[in-house]
Amino acid sequence: MSERRKSTTTYLSFLVRLWRTDSSGRTWRASLEEVDPAGGRYHFTDLDALFGFLVAAIRPSQDRPDTSAERNRPDDPC
């Protein structure tokens, strides 16, 4: 998501996918895809990273922390 678009947008739309990675059901992975045609796909190794990314996406740019999201091409697996 570009800094300029973050600072001027009043609406964000994402598709979030969640899946378990082990039989115990304790480990979750997530991907987030911006619905905007120019958007990107991001992968997260845990839900805290996903939530941090979403919080950062709605903060003014001067308050935004770095996130641990990995941006991937659409065909890259997480």
Structural domain spans, the chain:
3-72
Q: Do residues 64 and 44 make contact, with C-beta atoms less than 8 angstroms apart?
A: no
Q: What is the mean pLDDT of the chain?
A: 77
Band (pLDDT 50/70/90 cuts) for residue 71 is: low
Q: Which of 11, 74, 75, 77 is nearest to 41 (CA)?
A: 74
Q: Is the pLDDT of residue 63 over 70?
A: no
For residues 15 and 53, give the distance between their C-alpha atoms in angstroms, rounded to a whole number: 14
For residues 25 and 59, give the distance between their C-alpha atoms in angstroms, rounded to a whole number: 32
Per cent of the chain over pLDDT 70 is 65
